[in-house]
Amino acid sequence: MSGMSTKALRLGTRRSKLAMAQSGQVADAVSRVTGRPVELVEITTYGDVSREQLAQIGGTGVFVTALRDALARGEVDFAVHSLKDLPTTQPEDLVLAAVPVREDPRDVIVARDALKFTDLPRGARIGTGSPRRMAQLNAYARSHGLDIETVPIRGNVDTRIRYVHDGELDAVVLAAAGLSRIGRIDEVTDFLSIDTVLPAPGQGALAIECAAHDAALIASLGELDDPFTRVAVTAERSLLAALEAGCSAPVGALADLLADGQIVKEMRLRGVVGTTDGARTVQLSTTGPVPETHDGAMALGRELAAEMLAQGAAGLMGERAQ
Ligand SMILES: NCc1[nH]cc(CCC(=O)O)c1CC(=O)O
């Protein structure tokens, strides 16, 4: 290494509490593996300043573009993204140098009076701006005789929880991982089973991205990579891409390992799409050997997407949250 090796690495981050929390955690880990200090560089993104409904803006990756621009201009050395917010196409000048071990991928409910999802009273109002969450919660409600109303909301995690504390909503749906990262996991009143709500592709995982030409940095950051998380999110995102759906589309996906004791046997990939009213869904699953390559993981996602499309998935994805 040259004399550059003790120079601080610049980590581009959004200013939101969640982004600052996850960037801070990654900064510590990167500092540990590189032996270099990491300095946070705050960047405002379009997704932070826009007051419109995200789903209405329509474009994928609104949180990501400004960070990537700063990377491409060399203003920062690396960036941390929530993987579920990353578009499925990777810019050629940037690489995902590491996908660290995934946190709990589940969605959760924060409800008044410590209520569980299935104990919500008739007419309960549940806040979520996500067509994926609406579709699956409404589908569950229809098939289990629950009477709920999904209410489109957006805003950061604190804002969304405030709707419940202020009595405007009975419950809100959030990602466990986000609450965990900002230290509010104790406020969860119900962890939604994967059988009820499949998370967004990549949910709970982070992506550490840097310039494709920065070979030394790619190698260092690579120490934080978890190969299984990477294979799983690659399959999930390949499914999403093959369904030609954006991040606001009603697509859930999760890949997990099936183990026999300590021995990993197979990987299962599950996917769902549905209309936001929950009236129609297509949900499929495939199980097979854990893919050993990136291409293998991509193929698995494409194959499941093809089966879902054959069952009419495309017709269920036209909707957007209002
Ligand atoms: N939709 C925004 C978003 N992007 C990433 C997370 C945190 C969870 C994660 O990293 O997957 C959240 C909040 C949420 O969905 O509750």
Integer angstrom CA distances of residue 225 from 131, 205, 293, 315: 30, 11, 15, 37
Ligand 1 atom closest to Cα of residue 22: 10
pLDDT of residue 63: 74
- Superfamily for domain range 232-316: Porphobilinogen deaminase, C-terminal domain (3.30.160.40)
Distance of CA 254 from the midpoint of ligand 1 (Å): 15
What is the position in ligand 1's atom list of the atom closest to the CA of 204? 11
The answer, as to whether pTM is greater than 0.95, is: no
Residue 210 falls in the annotated catalytic set: no
- CA 238 to CA 296: how far, in whole Å? 10
pLDDT in the model for residue 250: 87
C-alpha of residue 294 to centroid of ligand 1, in Å: 24
Which pLDDT score is estimated for 57?
A: 47
Name the closest-CA residue to atom 2, ligand 1: 85
Can 160 be counted among the known catalytic residues?
A: yes
Cα separation, 197 vs 106, in Å, equals: 8
Quote the pLDDT of residue 245.
Answer: 65
Verify whether residue 133 is a known catalytic residue: yes
Class of domain 107-191: alpha beta
Whether residue 84 lies in the annotated active site: yes
Picking from 241, 216, 270, 215, the residue whose alpha carbon sits closest to that of residue 105 is 270
Reported as a single tens digit per residue, the pLDDT across 153-175 is 988 899 999 999 999 999 999 99
Binding pocket residue ranges, ligand 1, CB within 6 Å: 18, 82, 84-85, 157, 174-175, 177-178, 203-204
The pLDDT of residue 2: 47
Domain locations in the chain as residue ranges: 3-100+205-225, 107-191, 232-316
Instruction: Please indicate whether residue 85 is annotated as part of the active site.
Output: yes
CA distance 79 to 11: 5
Query: Could you give the ipTM of this predicted complex?
Result: 0.95
Distance CA 300, CA 288 (A): 9
What values do phi and psi take at 294, rounded to 5?
Answer: -55, -45
The reply to whether 232-316 shares the fold of 3-100+205-225 is no
Q: Which position among 36, 68, 106, 154 bears the catalytic label? A: 154
Q: Which of 26, 82, 229 to mutate to test the pocket of ligand 1 (most atoms within 8 A of CB)?
A: 82
pLDDT in tens, the chain (322 residues): 444 568 999 999 988 899 999 999 999 999 999 999 999 999 976 655 555 545 444 445 667 888 999 999 999 999 999 999 999 999 999 999 999 999 999 999 999 999 999 999 999 999 999 999 999 999 999 999 999 999 999 888 999 999 999 999 999 999 999 999 999 999 999 999 999 999 999 999 999 999 999 999 999 999 999 999 999 999 999 999 999 765 566 899 999 988 888 888 899 999 999 999 999 999 999 999 999 999 999 999 999 999 999 999 988 887 443 3
Domain 3-100+205-225 homologous superfamily, CATH: Periplasmic binding protein-like II (3.40.190.10)
